[in-house]
Amino acid sequence: MSFTSPSVEALVEQLMRLPTVGRKTAQRLAAYILKMPREEVEALAQALLAVKERVRQCAICFNVTDEEVCAICRSPRRDHTTICVVEEPSDVLALERTGEYRGVYHVLGGVISPLDGIGPDDLRIRELVARVAPANGDPERAALYPDGRIPRVQEVILALNPNVEGDTTAYYLAQLLKPLGVRVTRIARGLPIGGDLEYADEATLSRALEGRLAL
């Protein structure tokens, strides 16, 4: 089935580029958009453009933000001596929903996966090491932090998905970070094997944070 209107069909084709959206779902979305008031469609279009024009990566943790440094890294109320390492920005949102974690984050941008051609150099591992063992006398980088100096990291929590790639990455990071004198922990197995942080409920994530284990 296809729409007789080339414009609507073009919209369907673009919607199908989104993850998990097949033709039938795209057609339903297109039909819904057709019924929306013009001002709502314009607001949607402006929001999509704004995401591409304004959103960038935080200069410290690589989470998504509209500013050079995200609100979490700017906040003097967060514990900057504890870094929680996650795969993607969506994992930050999942952990923030629990309301249990008061430290800061580091977004790797994925996990080590040789089958997919992703190695340590393809992730933000060097940047993580630089945060744990910062070079002395770097005023430009220190200026990014709330109090104007780079904090001394005491603990790194590895909040990676409990699958083969996540386990491999966690082991690699633990071997890399422990010689730097930092405590390395991993969230407890409160998550199902093969599951994703993004889809876990708040209670499960809270228990996982509370029961994290040293590596």
Domains along the chain with CATH numbers: 6-54 (1.10.8.420), 59-214 (3.40.1360.10)
Spatial neighbors of 193 by CB under 8 A, at least 6 apart, are 162, 163
What are the helix (H) ranges across the chain?
6-15, 23-35, 38-54, 71-74, 89-96, 125-132, 139-142, 164-177, 202-210
State residue 72's pLDDT score: 96
What CA–CA distances, in Å, run from 168 to 11, 90, 107, 143, 211? 40, 21, 16, 34, 20
Look up residue 211 and give its amino acid. Answer: G
The pTM score is 0.76
Q: Which residues pair with 156 in a beta bridge?
A: 83, 184
State residue 59's pLDDT score: 92
Strand order through the sheet with 213-214: 103-107, 79-86, 155-158, 183-186, 213-214
> What 3-state DSSP class applies to 80?
strand
Q: Cα 153 vs. chain centroid, distance in angstroms?
A: 20
Tens of pLDDT along the chain (215 residues) come to 555 688 999 999 999 999 899 999 999 999 999 999 999 999 999 999 988 888 899 999 999 999 899 999 999 999 999 999 999 999 999 999 989 999 999 999 999 999 999 999 999 999 999 899 876 557 777 788 887 788 889 999 999 998 899 999 999 999 999 999 999 999 877 667 777 888 888 877 887 787 777 77
Q: Which residues pair with 57 in a beta bridge?
A: 64
> What 3-state DSSP class applies to 178?
helix
